[in-house]
Amino acid sequence: MESITQENILAALSKVQDPELHRDIVSLGMVKNLGVNNGRVSFTVELTTPACPLRETIETDCKKALAALPGISALEISFGAQVRGSKAGAGQTDLLPTVKNVVLVAAGKGGVGKSTVAANLAVALKMHGAKTGLLDADIYGPSVPIIMGVKGEPTKIDVDGGQKIAPTMAHGIPVMSIGFFLDPDQAVIWRGPMLGKALHQLMADVHWGELDYLVVDMPPGTGDVQITFSQQLKVSGALLVATPQLVALADVVRAKSMFDKVMIPIVGLVENMSYFVCDGCNKEHDIFARGGAKQAAERFQIPFLGEIPITLALRKGGDEGVPILVQYPDSPVSKSFLDIAAKLAGQLSIASERAKKGGPTIITT
């Protein structure tokens, strides 16, 4: 029997491409711990995110590539994950050096369920195995504390000889919100400088620790907060949330234009309130029409990450402070969030590779 070598193995695996990054897994440095012993071959494929939706495809392609090699008596493939950073926005400094990816969840207008999407995506990324945090930057209408079921002012801790604010833990996720420090019965009437100072503190004065993803719930529309983030923070990308109506197209136009101007790439678009499944007939009803967000994504070449239906459980979970992924992890809605989170992680991996090459980070389908 012809002896097999590490060189033979790597040469064969160099023909296996990561389906999202469109580069071979050897040059990407994804093949780890390669061992060859009397025809027994073992190695680990280090995925770019634990939420990778194409793990089975990569495994199948590896087995096919190695099946053509003589001399292999046994093959063992294991998987790991090392999330890669993709922060390449126009921010002058990196206020969050221990966070690999910062994702802004935004919308062109209010009332589209942006905060619900942000909170559940943070939970979904955690359920995929990623270290994830959630920052509520919706200064004028912070709702993350209600959605995640947390309240009260966070405590301070000593970090490297100084004091930092410790995020509040909710469902295994560190959470920070301006709402923790505000009187819920009082309106927030702040101008630009005060907004900037508050946001700077939420970023620089909070001890987030090592995170793979920080999901940021942005205020709706385009204004001071978005500009502050683009100036003070290196951002990986923005995820837009829109509703199904064709009028949603106008909202996407505004949001996209703003993020293009501040040089933050849009890594995806999600259609919320996409349809309603009736308990009696079990049919999908398009209450607000359907497909407006998807059409907008196609028009502007933004990756369309998926649809989220209207459900009573999703609304109740937000009111009760228990996200649907925690309360009903096997429900169709939870599976939608998990699928969208996996696609989002994939788009951030693509952004990371483009940033590494020094090319444009604008994502297209």
Residue 139 lies in a domain: yes
Same domain, residue pair 77 and 192:
no
CATH at 41: 3.30.300.130
Per-residue pLDDT at 364: 40
Both 307 and 212 in a single domain?
yes
Q: Give this prediction's pTM.
A: 0.86
Q: Let me know if residue 24 belongs to a domain.
A: yes
Domain closes at, from 81, 111, 134: 81
63 and 146 housed in the same domain: no
What is the domain extent for residue 259? 99-357
Tell me what pLDDT residue 210 has. Answer: 93
Q: Are residues 111 and 70 in the same domain?
A: no
Domain annotation covers residue 271: yes
Q: What was the pLDDT predicted at 11?
A: 94
Report the C-alpha dihedral over residues 295, 297, 298, 303, rounded to 10 degrees.
-140
Q: Does residue 12 sit in the same domain as residue 156?
A: no
Burial of 224 (0-12, 13-18, 19+ CB in 10 A): middle
pLDDT (0 to 100) of residue 312: 86
pLDDT value, residue 51: 84
- For residues 104 and 69, membership in a common domain is answered with no
Same-domain status, 111 and 137: yes
Please tell me whether residues 68 and 170 are part of one structural domain.
Answer: no
Same domain, yes or no: 164 and 304: yes
The helix (H) or strand (E) run that includes residue 344 is helix 332-357
**In total, how many domains does the chain have?**
2
**Residue 64: CB partners within 8 Å, gap ≥ 6?**
none
What pLDDT score was predicted for residue 199?
77
pLDDT at 154: 83
Q: Are 351 and 88 in contact (CB under 8 A)?
A: yes
- Those residues of the chain that have pLDDT short of 70 are 1-2, 88-93, 183-193, 195-196, 222-224, 280, 282, 285-289, 355-365
Which segments within the chain are labelled E, that is strand? 31-37, 40-47, 74-81, 99-106, 132-136, 156-159, 162-165, 168-170, 173-177, 211-217, 237-242, 266-277, 284-285, 304-310
Residue 322 near residue 315, CB atoms below 8 Å:
no
> Which among 27, 53, 81 is the end of a domain?
81
Residue 191 resides in a domain: yes
Asked if 147 and 119 count as a contact pair (C-beta separation under 8 A), the reply is: yes
Residue 365 falls inside a structural domain? no
Q: Based on the domain organization, do 67 and 122 belong to the same domain?
A: no
* Residue 312 located in a structural domain: yes
Residue 86 included in any domain: no
